[in-house]
Amino acid sequence: MSLITTILLQAAPAAAPAADSAAKGGGSGMLMNVLFIGLMIAVFYFFMIRPQKKKQTEQGKFIEDIKKGDKIATIGGIVGKVAEVRTKTFIIDIEGGGKLQILRSAISFENTKALNAETAEEKKD
């Protein structure tokens, strides 16, 4: 029994200063946690959410600006010229004389931009 009592008596003084410091400065630790969480939210916003919203806005503007005669590429890799613009779809002419009806949401901003850049380079040469 004396071994258990000795261990408890040695542990009790070490725990007391920790309790005193928590009572005195407990608010600063909580404040640091709140600031850290706020900083993480700001980082997520500026590095993930904001660029994604900007990309969606560009995509939407790009699709609204498509007109007859523009060369486009779809998400699936189909390339063609816009023959007709409808409310929710486009009719495109593809190589070989075929026509396809595609949804506005199937237009790829990145693929179309790359296709038009490639076409511009070919015209320069």
- Measuring CA to CA, how many Å separate 60 from each of 14, 63, 87, 105? 63, 5, 14, 9
Q: Which domain holds residue 39?
A: 17-65
CB count within 10 Å of CB 100 equals 15
Residue 12 parent element (H or E): helix 2-44
Beta bridge partners of 74: 107
| 28 and 54 share one domain | yes
Mean pLDDT calculated for residue range 67-78: 93
Model confidence over 19-53: pLDDT tens digits?
A: 555 455 557 888 899 999 999 999 999 999 999 99
| 80 and 120 share one domain | yes
Q: What total of structural domains would you count in the chain?
A: 2
| 58 and 77 share one domain | no
Q: Per-residue confidence at 15, pLDDT binned at 50, 70, 90?
A: very low
Closest CA to 109 of 71, 64, 73, 69: 73
Tell whether 37 is covered by a domain: yes
pTM (two decimals) = 0.62
| 21 and 58 share one domain | yes
User: What integer pLDDT is reported at residue 119 of this predicted model?
Assistant: 81
| 35 and 73 share one domain | no
